[in-house]
Structure 1
Amino acid sequence: MTRGGQTKDLPDGPERKCIATGEVQPKHGLIRFVVGPENQIVPDIMGKLPGRGIWVAADRAALDKAAQKGLFARAARQPVTVPDGMVDQLEQMLVRRVVDLVSLARKSGAAVSGYEKVKDWLSKEEAEVLIQSSDGSERGKSKLSTPHFGSYIGWLTANELGLAFGRQTVIHAALGAGGLTKRVVEEAQRLKGVRIGVSSADVGGRGRPRG
């Protein structure tokens, strides 16, 4: 409570400051980096590597700025090497992370794929997240709508989404309630920022209007 008796809004988890934008935001909206043994900057998407963390917003423009303007060295207070293609490497690491989490959700019964199964979950309000491949038919995708108060993920390719379900390609998928769902949405949002760019205000994955 504040002195005036008002409840103060609490931050959405621990917060960190981006070295490129100067903005402070919840950790799940940033990427952690550490300085490796050979003074090389290493992405730490799991947040578990030893060393002092250097944080950059999960946004391609911010990451490119940090890499090109010497901001990692300034934050580390020492000379460092930023590997060529690091942002592209980071993108693929995040793809793998999202795919693995969706795969775990599938194995626990909290994810389905295929148009009819997804449509059924949506009609029964069992789906909390609608996932559609970025390269699927827009006409086909428009027939399914994001759940009320739910989230939409639409920046994995059909091949990438297929990996999560043990199939060659997947166009439509859905996530139900479960402990993994929030993590999938957060990791997918970080991937969106790195892959196609995202504003700091676009948090939560609700990137597609209901049809």
Structure 2
Amino acid sequence: MTLAGPRTHAEASRQSRDLASGEVRPRETMIRFVAGPDNRVVPDLAGRLPGRGLWVAADRTSVETVAKKGLFSRSARTALKASPDLAAQVEALLLKRLLDGLGLARRAGDLVTGFEKVVSTVGEGRAAWLVEAIDGAPDGRRKVLSALRRASPSPGLVGLWTGEELSLALGGENVIHTAFLVGRGADRWTFDVQRLSGFRPLVPESWSEAPASAPRSSDPAQDV
């Protein structure tokens, strides 16, 4: 389905053509690539590297298709080298970007950690995201997810890192349960969560008790 056209010049400036499908899409739903000094295709998640942007829909199939079919070179009109594992590179960079984002959110006071505080925050409807360690105790996770199901509005759910990874990123000890508070910081973080969801599930398949983890809607005017 072709996306609706932009209503204003500002909206048009935040859209680009997807090399995989040829459709014009909002940039926050895409990955920007640029040509590096050695003509190797480089992911530019922050959209700040110099050079002409080559935009691809933020999902594994699209990135793999563009790399395999040489569409980067066709668009740039010069020979570019795209690594066979380019989609895996994007996934790894998004995971790191999201984890770094949690560290920034902690320093800004936008995170709540600890079982009791997280359950309370979720129950009060103040959580945009619930971030659960993938190796946390199943009993504790079930109780937190139960609070998530009862919450209105319900926060999104992410289970991507171990407790050790979360602890290192947040400068705490034994971080298992984390709530990302509603606000602009969570809105910006949501864009990268949405992009990552095109490359991997947001929660382990073994979390059969987990509810659907659809991202909370965010400000469409935020550029990535």
Same fold (TM over 0.5): yes
Shorter-chain TM-score tier: 0.7 to 0.9
8 Å CA contact 2:98, 2:192 repeated in 1: yes
Q: 1:170 to 1:67 in 2, by over 3 A?
A: farther
**1:187 counterpart = 2:192:** yes
> In the TM superposition, what whole-angstrom CA distance separates every residue of 1:161-193 from its partner, at most 9, and x where no partner exists?
344322465432111133311111111111121
8 Å CA contact 2:34, 2:51 repeated in 1: yes
Matches within 5 A, 1:54-203: 54-134=54-134, 136=136, 137=138, 139-145=142-148, 147-149=151-153, 151-158=155-162, 159-167=164-172, 170-196=175-201
> In the TM superposition, what whole-angstrom CA distance separates every residue of 1:5-31 from its partner, at most 9, and x where no partner exists?
xxx966598111210122322111100
Separation in structure 2 between the aligned mates of residue 149 and residue 15 of structure 1, nearest angstrom: 29
Report the RMSD for the aligned CA atoms in angstroms.
2.8
Separation in structure 2 between the aligned mates of residue 13 and residue 134 of structure 1, nearest angstrom: 39
Matches within 5 A, 1:3-18: 11=11, 14-18=14-18
Partner AA of 2:145 in structure 1:
S
Q: 1:38 to 1:184 in 2, by over 3 A?
A: same
> In the TM superposition, what whole-angstrom CA distance separates every residue of 1:95-129 from its partner, at most 9, and x where no partner exists?
11111111111111110122211111122332222
Mark the runs of 5 or more structure 1 residues left unpaired by the alignment. 1-7, 198-202
Partner AA of 2:93 in structure 1:
M
Following superposition, the deviation at residue 157 of structure 1 comes to 2.2
Moved more, 185-194 or 162-171: 162-171
**1:205 counterpart = 2:210:** no
8 Å CA contact 2:129, 2:157 repeated in 1: yes
Separation in structure 1 between the aligned mates of residue 60 and residue 152 of structure 2, nearest angstrom: 29
Sequence identity (%): 37
8 Å CA contact 2:148, 2:154 repeated in 1: no
8 Å CA contact 1:127, 1:174 repeated in 2: yes
Count of aligned positions: 195
Partner AA of 1:142 in structure 2:
L
Mark the runs of 5 or more structure 2 residues left unpaired by the alignment. 1-5, 203-212, 218-224
Partner AA of 1:188 in structure 2:
V
Q: TM-score, normalised on structure 1?
A: 0.79
Partner AA of 2:215 in structure 1:
G
Report the 3-state secondary structure (helix = DSSP H, G, I; strand = E; otherwise coil) of the residue aligned with 2:129.
Answer: strand
Separation in structure 1 between the aligned mates of residue 24 and residue 159 of structure 2, nearest angstrom: 26
8 Å CA contact 2:119, 2:144 repeated in 1: no
8 Å CA contact 1:106, 1:165 repeated in 2: yes
Partner AA of 2:152 in structure 1:
H
Separation in structure 2 between the aligned mates of residue 119 and residue 37 of structure 1, nearest angstrom: 49
Separation in structure 1 between the aligned mates of residue 57 and residue 126 of structure 2, nearest angstrom: 32
Separation in structure 2 between the aligned mates of residue 142 and residue 12 of structure 1, nearest angstrom: 39
Report the 3-state secondary structure (helix = DSSP H, G, I; strand = E; otherwise coil) of the residue aligned with 1:102.
Answer: helix
